[in-house]
């Protein structure tokens, strides 16, 4: 698509959570796993995809409006594990417990930003930490790990991110942030 940009909506992460997750990833060292760069870590809310660049102002206005409709909320960390399907995992993710406020926000983003009407989605709050190499089998017997103490993630804002495909990882840039409430 000529003059297009690749976009998604996500929440940024506090440095302390990133540090804790990096420590956990030591248990997942394997040659078939590609770890995400720390600066790319985020909590995904909605993947927009490639859109014409001239749509950017309208998308920003939509995000500002959606953010106003939702109050801040707190997610509870569940565990870090292979997923999303445990039998045929594609990645390592830090999964959070389901939360009605997260689901409502994710659904409104889907409803307002999707090109075509979609069925309701069951959004799972997560952070993608690593991906398995596509040309090799997923490592067997990977653990599911958690923290000894409860970990929470406060969601006060959402951000519009741009993704520029590159090798070995895409380059992510936060374009704008919108406070909830």
Going by the DSSP 8-state scheme, the letter that residue 1 receives in this structure is -
Nearest to 44 by CA among 93, 90, 89, 83: 93
Q: What's the confidence (pLDDT) of residue 141? A: 84
100-113 and 56-68 helices, crossing angle to 10°: 150
Q: Which domain holds residue 50?
A: 4-179
Do 62 and 45 form a contact (C-beta atoms < 8 A)? no
Domain count, the chain: 1
In order along its 181 residues, the chain shows pLDDT tens digits of 469 999 999 999 999 999 999 999 888 988 889 999 999 999 999 999 999 999 999 999 999 999 999 999 999 999 999 988 878 888 999 999 999 999 999 999 999 998 776 777 788 999 999 998 888 878 888 889 999 999 999 999 999 999 998 888 889 999 999 999 9
Cβ within 8 Å of residue 58, ≥6 positions away: none
- DSSP state for residue 117 in the 8-state scheme: -
**H or E element that contains 31:** none
Token pair recorded at residue 99: 């939360």
Torsion angle, alpha carbons of 17, 19, 45, 138, to 10: -130
Cα–Cα nearest to 67, from 123, 98, 113, 4:
113
CATH number at residue 102: 3.90.1140.10
């Amino acid at each position: 698509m000529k003059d297009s940009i690749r976009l998604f909506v996500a929440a940024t992460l506090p440095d302390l959570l990133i540090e804790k997750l990096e420590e956990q990833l030591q248990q997942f060292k394997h040659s078939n796993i590609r770890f995400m760069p720390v600066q790319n870590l985020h909590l995904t809310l909605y993947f927009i995809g490639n859109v014409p660049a001239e749509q950017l102002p309208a998308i920003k206005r939509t995000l500002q409006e959606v953010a106003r409709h939702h109050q801040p909320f707190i997610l509870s960390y569940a565990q870090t594990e292979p997923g999303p399907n445990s039998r045929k995992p594609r990645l390592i993710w830090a999964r959070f417990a389901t939360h009605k406020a997260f689901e409502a926000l994710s659904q409104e983003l889907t409803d307002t930003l999707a090109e075509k009407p979609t069925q309701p989605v069951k959004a799972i709050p997560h952070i993608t930490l690593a991906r398995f190499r596509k040309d090799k089998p997923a490592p067997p017997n990977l653990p599911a790990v958690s923290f000894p103490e409860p970990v929470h993630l406060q969601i006060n804002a959402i951000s519009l991110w741009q993704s520029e495909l590159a090798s070995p990882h895409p380059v992510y840039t936060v374009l704008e942030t919108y406070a909830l409430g």
